[in-house]
Structure 1
Amino acid sequence: MCIPQNLGDLLRSLAHPGDGVEHVVIHPHPGHGVTVGVYLLADRLFEAEETAARLCGRAVAETGPLPGWRVGRSEAPLLAPYGLDGQWSEP
């Protein structure tokens, strides 16, 4: 399967205004697919995972830019507990 060079842009173009998508990064794994990093704003971890899954689902839908692809899983790290909640502090 050929990974489009503009895959991040394709995914961002599928985001809805309320999705909170800030940034998309692509990590190709030749012969094994890709890891997609979706940076978005969400109130809860579950909400972030669901939003990322919906976004990727739009891409692999029959009418999406990646028909025939599939989404393996959707997981999201919660950054706020690690001090990345918009307030930076020194260790």
Structure 2
Amino acid sequence: MNNKFLLAIIPLYFGFACTYPAMALNNLTNIKTEQKSLEENQIILADRKDKYRIRARQKEDEYRQKKRHELHERIDRRIKHEMDKPHNRSLPKAEKV
């Protein structure tokens, strides 16, 4: 073979031999970085879901408490109304609110 040809091929061979493992290592580190960021995103999403779930539970509790309060107010008004009727005058008069 021609010496010039070998002198041209040998650096190319060593260049590719060094470049491909470096590229493979770079791809491997990129994959690890992407996987780590995916795991972080999943943790963030799980935290958000928990926050939404907690907030929904709080709103539901507030709604139930409000409805319970309204029910007790209606019952109190009905009792007051019944106590103020003429046939119930002998019973103690309901407190004025």
> Shorter-chain TM-score: which interval?
under 0.3
- The structure, 1 or 2, with the larger RCO (C-alpha pairs under 8 Å, 6+ apart) is 1
The structure whose residues are more often strand, as a share, is 1
TM-score (norm 1): 0.23
Query: Which structure has greater helix proportion?
Result: 2
User: Greater CA radius of gyration, 1 or 2?
Assistant: 2
